[in-house]
Structure 1
Amino acid sequence: MFLSIKIRIKSFAIMGTLLLTLHAVAGIARYWLINSEYQQTIAGRVEVSTPLNSWKRVTEGVYLYQEGIDPYSGDMFHETPVGLYVFDWLIRNCSQWLGIIFVASDLLTAHLLYMTAKYFMVELVETENRERNSYAKDVGNILLKEKDLREAPLHVAAAYLLNPYALLSCAALTTTVFSNLCLASALLAMVSGRHILSGVFLAVATYQSLYPAVLIVPSCMYAARSFGPSKTITGKFKVFTTVGVFLISLAFILCASAKISSGWHFLNSVYGCILTVPDLRPNVGLFWYFFTEMFEHFRSLFLAAFQLNALALYVGPLSMRLRSAPFLLAEALVALAAVFRSYPSLGDIALPLALLPMWRHLFAYMQQGFIVGCFLLITSVLGPTVWHLWIYSRSANANFYFGVTLFFATAQIFLITDLLFAHIKREFSLRNGLKQEIDGKAAKLVLE
């Protein structure tokens, strides 16, 4: 017994040392890039900076604000009024510490994801223990082990800290760093059962980038089931509390924004830009090319279709199918929003990718991991290459660059569908056993 306790203490000490080392290495790498000669080049990349998260646009908006000019009167500034107020204060008082603030925010995001993974892995183990009697007898090898509780959170932190997409986003000083921080806070509050904090952080994340609003569904699922089926009334009360806190917090922030900007005209500059996509500069998303090429009288139709993909289309079907796995639903919705949002960046994609190690127990059931990995690697290299050929060498055109971004989005969609189907296959195996036969022959689940 004492030997087992000593081994566990030593294991936790090793994990803690590794976690601190990861944070130190990632922090040094980010700070070095921010203060290096490559920072301007990274910040100018269309894959990293967009009209919604560019630090250059933030500084221009803050300058107009300091000069008494309304930054929302034109089509240049699209940050929220609260963000404008905070960035104005930072630039006035902490301009020499901006790099450290961005690095610290990104490291804090990684730590929040680490804590989220710890809570989630405990939840998975408790669920398996509770439903153990309903599982088949030969599934012992695929059940979660104690090492999964220790290793998965560390892998999540490493997947964010060492992710080149997150690294570049921080080095470019994009405001996506703060959006990811708010989103990670909302996810941690959700999975840890703090439904009031979940509503507050979700309201802040929605206020910043709109698309996290869909996470109110998995948040309500957590609130409803946290007390178990024997306390349905209490569960419903928590659902109403979560939704109420979310709406009240969002309304309060919007009213404060109207006070800061002296009116409600900021809504068109912030959320109107997200929904109507007036700026068609190339990025890693799908909007810019379609709306550049299409006839203007089809614009409203395609805007509705594209925004439905990002905001509402998948919420209902996925919620019904994943009602017993709300955090997997949250992962799918965050990943889908990263693909289909109007102005995506590499920083948006970094967060759902970092969450993948939480489902390491599903990797054995995934069939497209190699293809997705190759797609992401190749398109990440080809994107800047084709951009140079198009913009500087003029030996390519927009079709080449859009082809790369289309494959990049396709790889993410393959990853999401593969993860969801792997969850379904593992569920089936737990209930029906590992060996499946049809007419005396070995059967295999395939995605049709």
Structure 2
Amino acid sequence: MHWLSCRETITLCIVLRVLFALGLDFYLSPPTSYAYSVDNGDKVVEFINNGPGLLSASSPLTLYANLKESLWLYQRGMDPYGSGIGQVGSPLYLAFSFFPTIAESGPSKTQLLSKLFGIFLWTAPDAFSAWFLVRIWKARASTSTKSSSSSITFVLPLIYLLSPYVILSSLARSTSVWENAILLGAIAWACESESEFKTKPELNNSNSKSKSLLFLALRVHLSLDALILLPPLILLLLGSPESRLTEPGPFGLYLRSTILRAALNVLFEFMVYWTALALISTLIVGHWRWMSTTWGTSLSLPSMTPNPGLWWYFFTEMFDHFRPFFLVVFNVHLLMYVAPICIKFQHDPLYALFILVGILATFKSYPTLSDHGLFIAFWGIFPEVYPYLRHPFPTTLVLIHSALLQPLFAHLWLSHGTGNANFYYASTLVGACAGGMAIVDAVWAGLRIALEKHGKGELKLVEGEEREIVTQQ
């Protein structure tokens, strides 16, 4: 069977998404209407945020309305971080003000160009994300796997670009689609980086390591909780992206002093980029207060806006004098997974990074649909673990169940008034259960694949021993 190439697949998906976005826009604001103008492009955003993506497509840090208002204030010489907007993103987003603006009034051709510009601006990062996913797959796959599984380069972009999770976030103009593209770019270049310890010389590129660290620094700058992805990325930069799940063992370096020196050099370069981005942001707005509304937001949860996460309802019911303690508990809870996952999967750092992406999407303070869409798309890079999954079908059903319940219960609660916050929070708990089941299954399969290969003869002796050995593992 002839499969479309990666570029053809991405082009086809982007065309379909642009046509869908234009059709939805024309349906909500017909050209014959006297009110048809550039501002009506926001009707699609309002429709998504008040409909299918209600409370899920955007978070307070990625909300398009906050970005638009902060840009409006910045263009008029006012400080967006002291105007009471709420949670405003990084000052680097203010660079959007330098994009060429199209007149808000004029002939319909100008208005159509403006709409196309907006659609492409929020669809382009998804195209780059799909391209980065394919590059990660190619870096991980062996030569024999590439020749026998060319369909992956067709399926991966298809899964990501046509995922409802990603499409809704893009239509809502959530900045999370940019964050996904930046993170995948960091991982892709880490897989292709040049290192004296790499086992794939054909992937070596002298600039890839710096690009990877710069993109990760930018991703952490936009949202501080992505810092948990730094350790596995460092392991990936020093190690290899190829699949080593069947051969668990110590990290692929020999001298501890060499490991430490190489890791410190990578960490230092990352800190230089991160510090430079912080200084640039400070120069843009002229003060340091932006940190409290960007980095501080993900740590202190100042906004109780309902979202698919687990934090908001818990802290809504929390007594104020207990709040600081449980803020520490919830933040440490995210950090506590990093060391065990990186140690257990030190032989396959890309798989460790994949699991931490799922943990971040499930347990971060302000998750959005695009976070879950990224975790789902990442599964396509690890087809070798599919036969060893323990409960993939129930996990998929629970995920679909949550995806259908969340907009329904949110609509009943906020629009019809026939429900309450408990309805919506119950649906988010179901979504968290689906994320937890997927993470546990990924860990199980990643460990079981090696156990099946190396202990197959021993495990066939007694059925009870097999269960006992797997449990110990």
User: How far, CA to CA, are the matches of 1:367 and 1:198 in structure 2?
Assistant: 34
Letter of the structure 1 residue corresponding to residue 223 of structure 2: S
> CA-to-partner distance for each residue in 1:204-250, whole Å, 9 max, x for gaps?
11001112222221122123335964687665544233212110000
Q: 2:181 matched to 1:171? A: no
Aligned-residue offset at 1:376: 1.2
Can you list the C-alpha shifts for 1:29-85, whole angstroms capped at 9, x where unaligned? Answer: 45544665244210342111221111111111111112222111125242111112x
- 2:58 maps to 1:58: no
Q: 1:75 to 1:341 in 2, by over 3 A?
A: farther
1:307 maps to 331
Question: SS of the counterpart of 2:78?
Answer: coil
Q: Which residue of 386, 395, 404 maps to 2:427? A: 404
Give the partner amino acid of 2:435.
Q
SS at match of 1:344: coil
1:7 equivalent in structure 2: none
Match of 1:214 in 2: 228
Aligned to 1:348: 371
Q: TM-score, normalised by structure 1?
A: 0.86
Q: How many positions carry a matched residue from both structures?
A: 417
Amino acid of the residue matched to residue 433 of structure 2? Answer: T
SS of 2:382's equivalent? helix
More helix by share: 1
Q: Residue in 1 aligned with 2:156?
A: 156
CA distance in 1, matches of 2:188, 2:260: 21
In structure 2, what is the equivalent of residue 204 of structure 1? Answer: 218
Decide which of 82, 89, 92 is 1:79's aligned counterpart: 89
Quote the Cα distance in structure 1 between the aligned partners of 2:85 and 2:357.
27
| Contact 2:190 2:212 (8 Å CA) reproduced | yes
CA distance in 2, matches of 1:360, 1:29: 31
2:288 and 2:400 map into 1 onto residues whose CA distance is 43
Q: Is 1:108 aligned with 2:132?
A: no
Deviations 1:116-157 (A, max 9, x none): 1111123xx79xxxxxxxxxxxxxxxxx68423x23343222
Alpha-carbon distance in 1 for matches of 2:306, 2:170: 20
Q: 1:293 to 1:332 in 2, by over 3 A?
A: same
Instruction: Work out which of the residue numbers 118, 121, 124 in structure 2 matches 1:98.
Output: 118
Aligned match of 2:355: 332
Cα distance in 2 for partners of 1:388, 1:447 equals 43
Distance in 2 separating the partners of 1:447 and 1:386: 38
| Correspondence for 1:40 among 43, 46, 60 | 46
**Compared CA separation, residues 208 and 446, structure 1 to 2 (3 A):** same
Distance 1:431-1:54 versus aligned 2 partners, 3 A rule? same
Give the Cα separation in 2 of the matches to 1:191 and 1:417: 25
Cα distance in 2 for residues equivalent to 1:300 and 1:313: 18
Tell me the CA shift for residue 293 of structure 1: 0.6
Q: 1:263 aligns with which of 287, 294, 298?
A: 287
Aligned match of 2:296: 272
Provide the C-alpha distance between the structure 1 equivalents of 2:61 and 2:80, rounded to a whole number of angstroms: 14
Deviations 1:154-212 (A, max 9, x none): 32222211110001001111111111111111110111123222211110110011122
CA shift for structure 1 position 352: 1.4
8 Å CA contact 1:365–1:426 kept in 2: the answer is yes
- 2:270 pairs, out of 234, 242, 246, with 246
Q: Given that residues 225 and 235 in structure 1 are in contact (C-alpha distance below 8 angstroms), is that contact kept between their aligned partners in structure 2?
A: no
Instruction: Give the unaligned 5+ runs of structure 1.
Output: 1-9, 127-143
Amino acid at match of 2:92: V
Percent identity over the alignment is: 26
The alpha-carbon deviation at position 438 of structure 1 amounts to: 3.9
Give the match's secondary structure for 2:342.
helix
Give the corresponding residue for 2:460. Answer: 437
Aligned-residue offset at 1:106 = 1.4
Instruction: For 2:446 and 2:272, locate their aligned partners in 1 and report how far apart those are by CA, in whole Å.
Output: 35
Deviation of 1:396 (Å): 1.5
| Residue of structure 2 equivalent to 1:133 | none
Contact 1:186 1:202 in 2 (8 A): yes
1:288 aligned onto 2:312: yes
SS at match of 1:281: coil
In the alignment, what sits opposite 1:183?
183
Which secondary structure state, in structure 1, belongs to the residue aligned with residue 99 of structure 2? helix
TM-score by length of 2: 0.81
Mark the CA change 1:383 to 1:69 in structure 2 (over 3 Å): closer, same or farther.
same
Q: Which ranges of structure 2 fall in alignment gaps of 5 or more residues?
A: 29-43, 105-113, 194-207, 241-250
Cα separation, 2, equivalents of 1:89 and 1:14: 35
C-alpha contact 2:191 2:237 (8 A) present in aligned 1: no
Deviations along 1:313-343, one digit per CA (max 9) or x if unpaired, are 1001111101111001111111111111111
Judge conservation of contact 2:239–2:349 (CA < 8 Å) in 1.
no
Counterpart for residue 203 of structure 2: none
The secondary structure found in structure 2 opposite 1:355 is helix
Q: Report the 3-state secondary structure (helix = DSSP H, G, I; strand = E; otherwise coil) of the residue aligned with 2:387.
A: helix
Partners of 2:425 and 2:13 lie apart in 1 by 35
Contact kept, 8 Å, 2:390 with 2:444, in 1: the verdict is no
Q: Is the CA contact 1:31–1:103 (under 8 Å) kept in the aligned structure 2?
A: no
- 5 Å matches for 1:386-401? 386-401=409-424
Pair 1:118 & 2:138 matched: yes
Structure 2 distance, partners of 1:40, 1:165, is: 17
Compare 225-234 and 388-397 and name the one that shifted more: 225-234
2:148 matched residue in structure 1 = 147
Residues in 2 aligned to 1:437 and 1:340: alpha-carbon distance in whole angstroms: 38
The farther-off stretch of 336-345 and 193-202 is 193-202
Change in CA separation of 1:205 and 1:380 when aligned onto 2, cut-off 3 Å: same
Q: Deviations over 1:350-408 (max 9, x none)?
A: 11111101122211111221111111111111111111221222221111110000110
